[in-house]
Structure 1
Amino acid sequence: MTAEPFTAHSSRWPVPPQDGYTVDDLFTLPDLPPHTELLDGSLVFVSPQRFFHSCMIDLLVSGLRSSAPRELKAVREMSVVLDRRNVPEPDVSVVRSDAVTGPGLTRFQAADVLLAVEVVSPDSEARDRDTKPGKYASAGIPNFWLVDMAGTDNHPVVRVYELDPVSKAYALTGIHHDRLKTGVPFPIDIDITREALDEL
């Protein structure tokens, strides 16, 4: 019995095209890991998340759904097509209800998104803080939240940003430690204390 020779194509990982991947590749390549994102034509694989990450997503989705008007929906971990080479997956999004076309839906267009939320993870900190906000702003998503832990008790902190239509960049409008209270994209009042997180 002879061993099969190793070839460059024997790897189970896809070989990227010379100009990088596109949105069509992301949704047609077989066997990609769950929650794969496309940033600047590169596939980004997500590492296992912290418990804080999962609970914070649940807390925000629950709070947003309880106060969202009928024409808007809060969704978790859905791909958003920004352009042909960028398809991130915000941890939470608020989208127009008419963009939800059925249970087989796999992505939203940037024009349908009113809010993108990223909960910072150690493995994706630079992407969450720097790369993604810039791309969301360039795509015209009007609101962005960045969620992190702070203090010795690791309590949640939510930084709220609004898009400046002139500069096409986000401007910080508030830093929230105990209650997330804002009027955009609709009136929101969510308990984000450590206790609220622990009750989930």
Structure 2
Amino acid sequence: MTAVPEWMRPPRLEGWYADDLDHLPEAPRHTELIDGALVFMMSPQRSWHARLVTALVVSLTDQAPVGIEVEREMTIRLDDRNRPEPDLLVTTAPYAPDRTFYTPGEVLLVAEVVSPESAHRDRTVKLRKYAEAGIPNYWRVEDENGAPVVHTYELDGPTRSYAPTGIHRTKMVSPVPFEVELDLDRLIPGRKA
């Protein structure tokens, strides 16, 4: 067993804070903060996941109205102890080249493409945390025999929880966060529909 690198040791007894992520240059690229604990994406990313995220970012960017931006793999500072990194987000914030995170008030949609190592966090932990932070829409994309299936949720403001609004196979049409139409069967190049 090897020693834990010094940078992995929390700077205080209660753990890490959201602002600490900006001062960890040694941390792996996709490091999140969940309840004060660092979460690393340690297993290799599957090609299905990478291609799907890219296709979603391109499709949403092509359809986004003026004043709406689509970002991939940027953290959201939910509070002092939580800064998750969704696969993509849709925001009203203008592009800023030195930005390292967004705040919930700037985010219209968060989408997570589920992988084996993130399944529990994407289906339960992040679903609850994004809702409690007031992010209006959440999409969870699952792999169903190689085909993407999009589970959509909309925030119920008074309860600060998500209500499911649909499970989409083959095609998805949604009025939120803006008018979106996706041919899900064409999102994975090379996949036989």
**TM-score when normalising by structure 2:** 0.92
Partner of 2:188: 197
Residue 38 of structure 2 aligns to a residue whose secondary structure is strand
* 1:76-91 equivalences in 2 (<5 Å): 76-91=72-87
Choose 79-88 or 44-53, whichever is displaced more. 44-53
Residue identity opposite 2:155 in structure 1: L
* 1:49-88 equivalences in 2 (<5 Å): 49-88=45-84
List structure 1 runs of 4+ shifted beyond 4 angstroms. none
Residue identity opposite 1:96 in structure 2: T
The answer to whether residue 103 in structure 2 is matched with residue 109 in structure 1 is yes
Q: What is the number of residues matched between the two proteins?
A: 188
Residue identity opposite 2:183 in structure 1: D
What is the distance in 1 between the residues matched to 2:106 and 2:97?
Answer: 17
What is the distance in 2 between the residues matched to 1:83 and 1:94?
Answer: 19
What is the distance in 2 between the residues matched to 1:13 and 1:27?
Answer: 13
Q: Is the 8 A contact 1:70 1:97 kept in 2?
A: no
The answer to whether residue 174 in structure 2 is matched with residue 175 in structure 1 is no
What is the distance in 1 between the residues matched to 2:59 and 2:24?
Answer: 35
Partner of 1:163: 155
| Residues 139-191 of structure 1: CA deviation (Å, up to 9, x unaligned) | 000000000011xx421100010000121100110111111210001100011
Residue 123 of structure 1 aligns to a residue whose secondary structure is coil
2:115 counterpart (105, 109, 121): 121
Partner of 1:36: 31
Residue 57 of structure 2 aligns to a residue whose secondary structure is helix
Residue 122 of structure 1 aligns to a residue whose secondary structure is coil
CA RMSD of aligned residues (A): 1.8
What is the distance in 1 between the residues matched to 2:146 and 2:136?
Answer: 28
**TM-score when normalising by structure 1:** 0.89
What is the distance in 2 between the residues matched to 1:174 and 1:33?
Answer: 34
Residue 82 of structure 1 aligns to a residue whose secondary structure is coil
Partner of 2:141: 147
| Residues 37-77 of structure 1: CA deviation (Å, up to 9, x unaligned) | 00000000012211111111011111111111111111100
What is the distance in 2 between the residues matched to 1:118 and 1:141?
Answer: 13
Q: Residue 124 of structure 1: CA displacement?
A: 1.2
Q: Residue 27 of structure 1: CA displacement?
A: 1.0
What is the distance in 1 between the residues matched to 2:89 and 2:38?
Answer: 21
What is the distance in 1 between the residues matched to 2:74 and 2:187?
Answer: 25
Unaligned segments of structure 2, at least 5 residues: none
Larger radius of gyration: 1
What is the distance in 2 between the residues matched to 1:82 and 1:33?
Answer: 21
